[in-house]
């Protein structure tokens, strides 16, 4: 049923932006930081009735402006003490090799995010592990056994400065 909406109306994600007004922006800025706020609390924040806030958020979710609603789990609390950023270079930039590598990323639990990028590297991965030994074990499994990979550079995260994926939203 939600699929229907998405198929029927062209997906807002790709030509939006003028369709968002100041109040939408305020709502998004709020729920980006805390999506458990009630409609009443949001209403207070943006000077609108609770019902109107609710309707707007429903629309933003249906249109795909809000992609997901998630809980952020502390890596350390679940036993992943180590976060590492890895720059990966592939042997060659060929579509099938790239696709194969994307699939490997998707199928590997340790990789939280993978970016396919231009520039010095081909991919940038954010990887979590229990400890450095666990990371090493991961590299053996993920990198050394993969012939598509020319090389990789490891950078261990000592501190994360901004917590999450909060976008600046104006309009």
Binding status of residue 34 toward its own copies by CB under 8 A: yes
> Which listed range, 43-51, 66-74, 132-140, 141-149, lies at the site for its own copies (CB under 8 A)?
66-74
Q: Among DNA, its own copies, none, what does residue 56 contact (CB within 5–8 Å per kind)?
A: DNA
Residue with Cβ nearer DNA (35 or 139) = 35
Distances (CA, A) of 131 to 110, 111, 123, 138: 12, 14, 23, 11
CB of 153 to DNA, least distance (A): 43
Closest-CA residue to 126 (of 157, 99, 150) = 157
Binding status of residue 160 toward its own copies by CB under 8 A: yes
**DSSP line for 3-20:** HHHHHHSPPGGGT-SSS-
Q: Among DNA, its own copies, none, what does residue 52 contact (CB within 5–8 Å per kind)?
A: DNA
Residue with Cβ nearer DNA (30 or 104) = 30
Binding status of residue 118 toward its own copies by CB under 8 A: yes
Residue 137, both tokens: 């074990």
Residue 63, both tokens: 């249109």
68-87 residues in contact with its own copies (CB under 8 A) are 68-80, 83, 85
Q: Report the distance separating Cα 108 and Cα 138, nearest Å.
A: 10
């Amino acid at each position: 049923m939600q699929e229907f909406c998405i198929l029927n109306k062209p997906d807002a994600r790709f030509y939006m932006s003028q369709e968002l007004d100041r109040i939408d922006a305020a709502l998004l800025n709020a729920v980006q930081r805390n999506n458990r706020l009630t409609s009443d609390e949001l209403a207070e924040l943006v000077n609108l009735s609770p019902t109107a806030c609710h309707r707007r958020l429903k629309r933003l979710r249906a249109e795909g402006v809000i992609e997901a609603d998630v809980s952020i789990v502390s890596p350390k609390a679940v036993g992943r003490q180590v976060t590492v950023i890895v720059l990966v270079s592939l042997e060659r930039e060929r579509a099938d090799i790239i696709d194969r590598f994307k699939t490997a990323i998707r199928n590997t639990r340790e990789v939280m995010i993978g970016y396919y990028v231009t520039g010095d590297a081909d991919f940038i991965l954010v990887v979590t592990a229990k400890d450095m030994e666990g990371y090493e074990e991961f590299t053996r499994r993920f990198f050394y056994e993969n012939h598509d990979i020319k090389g990789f550079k490891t950078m261990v995260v000592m501190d994360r400065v901004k917590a999450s994926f909060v976008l600046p939203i104006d309009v």
